[in-house]
A and B are shown apart, each in its own frame.
Chain A
Amino acid sequence: MPVKELGALHSVGKGIARIDADEKVRGKAQYADDLHVPGAWYGYVVRSPVSHGRLSGLRMDSDFDWSQVVVVTPEDIPGNNIVDMMGRDMPFIAHAEIQYLGEPVALVAAPTRHLACVAGSHIHPDIEEFPPLLTLQEMVAQYKEDPSKLHELSAQTIRKGDADKAVNEADIVMEREYSAGHQEQLYIEPQGMVAVPESDGTMFVHGSMQCPYYINPELCETLDIPPEKLRVKQSAVGGAFGGKEEFPTLLAGYCALLALKAKRPVKIIYDRNQDILFSTKRHPSWSRYRVGLNKDGTIQGIRCEFLLDGGAYTTLSPVVMYRGILHSAMGYRCDNVSIDGHVYRTNTFPNGAFRGFGAPQALWAWESMIDELAEACGMTPHEFRLKNCLHEGDATPTGGLLRDSVGSPEVLEKTLERCNFGEKFKQCSHGRRGEKKWYGIGLSFFAHGSGFTGDGEARIKAKAALDLEPGDNGKPVVNVRISSTEMGQGTCTIMPQVVADAMSIDVRHAYYPMPDTFKVPDSGPTVASRTAMVVGSTVFGAGRKMKADLEAFASEALFEGQPVTLDQDRFRGSYGDKEMSFEEVAAEYLARKGPLRVYDQFQLPDFIKWNQNTFEGDAYPAYSWGCNVAELEVDTLTFEIKVTKVTAYYDIGRLLNPVLAKGQIEGGLVQALGYAMMEKIEVKDGKYDADRMQTYVIPTTLDIPEMDLHFVEYPWEHAQPGAKGVGEIPMDGLAPAIANALVQATGIRMRDLPITPERLFQMMQEEKTA
């Protein structure tokens, strides 16, 4: 493997069992609704019944006994009625404009959940209704007719070379449009939060979340308290996938505002119906390409428009769109690229973070387009990709240099070889008659930027701390103090593995407690495939410092001044036979000097340059790479589409824990399968039509194809442990691979997600009539 040696690691790379597995299989993990909060009341959100309008007031039924509940309206908010995310356009509680159905107009708390709901039903908002803009389809139609009539939430361009000229001068010009609908994260644990007002004026927020340091500081302005008076702690999180990235700030705000007025703890646990109706979704997207090719298959120029349906407010949509445009022409060589990204307002719940964060939408379109381009110049999909894919030393669409850690083209070549793609491609059914099932095989190839987009990591400067302190059993423990959360992906296990290698101690001495902003520094949010790479390397740095500190202590206090090395859990002097275990030396340290805390901070390598205004340079510190092949069968009678096998290779840098890494890929691919073929949710009269688990259908054990999954390791070379991103990349490539396979099975090109048997039937009928 063409990898520069980073240094051998012992704990990293082992598939040790999850450290939290025991409490989870025994039913002991404490999720938000399991927290014991004495005296807590239940919160309820009173919502707008219309999608767009002007709120003139609230009517409260006079025959209801209001003394038994607490009601919060905008007048009760101590600070500014603003949710301070990327835009400052969203209020916590609507006070004038209504921008979506379900927008909060008042909050209620009561001793029981039932009473809170009943009280809420006695509050009636008076709203003058305006016509809403509700769907991606309406938004795109308006964009084509006159975009100036849309409310733009964000826009960004990428320019490299002269794309228009290059496309116009090319031998072949192809123009295509693709779109994709909403996707619900559908974590199995619904959103839940508790706010506890403490006697010293501290507001303690505890619950299901990805990013404790989003809630603090975002809530401080609203509650009008300094950051040191807002304590945020994560409970066990029953899945998140982006759905608990920015949304929990809203829930925390509702609970905290009610708790302030009620002067007692308030909890809100959404039921599934509320959760689907009134939380974020993956942004619906629309991509239009105009691409110029030479007859030999060289890509001359790429012109792309990438639109996201932002929902009602800005929230995080600009960054989702940035990641979208950065992946819209990624993966292949081309000197002339022009991309325009836009996010427009629609009158639905604000769309938000979901695993992949714009990249799955972009790659759905781009990897479908690649197959269409291959066909246009008479090449097979694999030949076209092998010819054009990026190699080490090539430039990305923003002119960033792929210096090192580049798993392309190896992941592509290995996947093709593993599944015998070339041979199977010739056996596809399209064009044959008389088969009972149509067979197709399809391919996708992609990169996913690891770490925060653009200037994010330079801005965040992730911090990590390690605390050497007495553990629950009295023995010394190294606690990992980071704000990166455990939400199922394995943070609580990989971080002790990283510490073990940084310090050369046994992994059982390191532990990851749930983040609590009163105890952890800001390591940035748990998003953007950044935890293993960025925070992992910062934890490694902190581990090295703690090792040096303990070696210095041992030398001076225990080894009579001789140089001491901590190696594989043993302190050894450089002469003589004296040895002490880590536990002995750590206990001595604690007894003589008390707890030890060390910090480290993430430093981007100097050569990573990025211009946030022009979108030129290195958009990400590194890329993970992947290739998916989908094989499927179509029932010629029912048009049922069954994905039978997925073959994939990934380069996610160094594998910190192969079992957990594979679990991320398997789970992500199955979410991608749902996105591609099952998860259909539309806005009808302003409301999501699939608002329960009965109607929003995700894959079960019976929907899972055979999965043949492999890794190649191209570690990130600039910091131990050399991981790149793994969380999001499994979401990226399966939908286009399936669409590409479907073309080979049926001749039908699906350009809208999800791909359903009904839609296939309809398109085959249309083709017949045509």
Chain B
Amino acid sequence: MNKVKRTWNINGERREAEIPPVRRFLDVLREDLNLKGSKEGCGEGECGACTVIVDGEAVLSCMLPAGQVPDNAEVTTVEGLEKTPGGRLLQAAYAEKGAAQCGFCIPGMIVSSYAMLSRDPDMDPDRIREAHAGNICRCTGYEKIVEAIQSAAEQWPAEAKG
């Protein structure tokens, strides 16, 4: 199969990959680039555990052919959150509120939270629920996740906006 070359800025690092264009971006991240934080829960875009951010948009990496991720794209995965003030705030809030139980959905969940709050930190619980309806959690009943995001939203650092 023909391969394409891509250079991406993943979590602030320049990463190169030579990949069949239809290879799932999730597999490229996990297997080729050894970024195993993003998870596969369903492989069909239902559970959201594979959510990553590509150029500011939260996307489902299990549904995304890697060839469609353009050269020089800015990619954020769960591993990159701790490099940002907002990401660290969210991680602390998730931990403190008990939002992670088994933790398998959390990489996708928290990346969705980060994408959402980066765009608009002015969130009430209803909007938080709306924005996370595509991230399935089987453990928590979502209450503590919503609490954590709300707590992070209230303290969202001004410099993390945009």
Q: Select from chain A the residue with minimum beta-carbon distance to B148.
A: A25
Distance in Å from the Cβ of A489 to the closest Cβ of chain B? 7
Question: Do A701 and B101 touch across chains, with their CB atoms under 8 A apart?
Answer: no
Contact yes or no, B44 A693, CB < 8 A: yes
Within 8 Å of chain B (Cβ to Cβ): is A15? yes
A704 touches which of B97, B110, B141 (Cβ 8 Å)? B141
| A239 contact from B77, B79, B102, B130, Cβ within 8 A | B102
Residues on the B chain within 8 Å of A188, using CB: 39, 41, 47, 49, 102, 104-105, 136-138
Residue of B nearest to A660 (CB): B98
Tell which of B38, B137, B138 has the most Cβ of chain A within 10 Å.
Answer: B138
Residue A747 lies at the interface, judged by CB distance under 8 Å to chain B: no
- Are B141 and A670 neighbours in the complex by a CB distance under 8 Å? yes
Is A701 a contact of B96 with CB atoms below 8 Å? no
> In the complex where A15-B98, A660-B98, A663-B98 touch, is A20 in contact with B103 (Cβ < 8 A)?
yes
Complex interface bits, B104-137 against A, C-beta within 8 A gives 1, otherwise 0: 1111001000000000000000001110111111
Please, how many angstroms separate the alpha-carbon atoms of A660 and B102 in the complex? 12
Q: A18-B98, A26-B81, A27-B37 are in contact. Are A704 and B103 (CB under 8 A)?
A: no
Asked if A692 is at the interface (CB within 8 A of a chain B CB), the reply is: yes
A245 interface contact, C-beta 8 A: no
Q: Would you call B160 an interface residue if the criterion is a C-beta within 8 Å of the partner chain's C-beta atoms? A: no
Tell me the interface secondary structure of chain B in the complex: loop
Partner of B82, one of A26, A271, A487, A489: A26
Per DSSP, chain A at the interface is loop
**A237 contacts partner chain B, Cβ-Cβ < 8 Å:** yes
Which residues in A have their C-beta under 8 angstroms from that of B66? none
Please count how many residues in chain A sit with their CB below 8 Å of the partner chain's CB atoms. Answer: 55
CA distance A268 to B144 in the complex (A): 33
Chain A residues within an 8 Å CB radius of B107: 27
Which residues of chain B have C-beta atoms less than 8 A from A236's C-beta? Answer: 102-103
Query: A409 contacts the other chain (Cβ, under 8 Å)?
Result: no
B39 and A31 contact, CB distance less than 8 A: yes
**Besides the known contacts A20-B100, A33-B39, 5 further A-B residue pairs in the complex with CB atoms under 8 A apart:** A26-B79, A33-B40, A189-B102, A190-B41, A272-B42
Binding site for A on B (CB under 8 A): 36-44, 46-47, 49, 77-79, 81-82, 90-91, 94-98, 100-107, 110, 128-130, 132-146
Q: Please list the residues of chain A having a beta carbon within 8 angstroms of any beta carbon in chain B.
A: 15, 17-18, 20-31, 33-34, 185-190, 236-241, 271-272, 487-490, 659-660, 662-663, 666-671, 692-694, 698-702, 704, 707
10 A-B pairs with least C-beta separation: A27-B37, A238-B104, A488-B102, A24-B103, A27-B78, A666-B141, A21-B95, A488-B101, A670-B141, A693-B46
What are 23 A-B pairs with beta-carbon distances under 8 A? A18-B98, A21-B98, A21-B100, A25-B90, A27-B38, A27-B107, A187-B102, A188-B41, A188-B136, A188-B138, A189-B41, A238-B102, A239-B101, A239-B102, A239-B104, A663-B98, A667-B140, A668-B141, A699-B141, A701-B130, A701-B142, A702-B130, A704-B143
